[in-house]
Copies of this chain bind each other. A is one copy, B any other.
Amino acid sequence: MSAVSEFDEAIAVLGRVGDPGAYDAMIGEGWRIGGGVNGGLLLALAGHALRLELAEPSDDGTPGHADPMAISAYYLSPGVPGPAVVRTDVVRRGRAVSTGQASLVQPAEGDGGGPGPEVERMRVLATYGDLGSVSDEVTTSAQPPELPPPDQCVGTSDAPPNFLRHASLLDRLDLRLDPATTGWAVGKPSGNGVIRGWLRMVDGREPDPLLLLLAVDALPPVTFELGLPGWTPTLELTAHVRCRPAPGWLRIQVSNRTLSGGYLEEDAEVWDSEGRLVALSRQLARATPQRR
Contact = CB atoms under 8 A, between A and B. Distances in A.
A277 interface: yes
Interface residues of A, number: 50
Contact of A280 (B135, B140, B142, B265): B265
A138 B137 CA distance: 40
Given A99-B123, A120-B92, A135 B74 contact: no
A94 to B, nearest CB: 8
Contacts of A140: 257-260
12 contacts: A69-B235, A70-B284, A77-B92, A92-B120, A127-B235, A134-B260, A135-B261, A138-B261, A140-B260, A243-B260, A257-B277, A282-B282
A207 interface: no
A236 B235 contact: no
A262 to B, nearest CB: 6
Given A139-B226, A235-B97, A236-B238, A72 B260 contact: no
Indicate how many identical chains form the complex.
Answer: 2
A131 interface: yes
A9 B238 CA distance: 31
Nearest to A99: B74
B236 A127 contact: yes
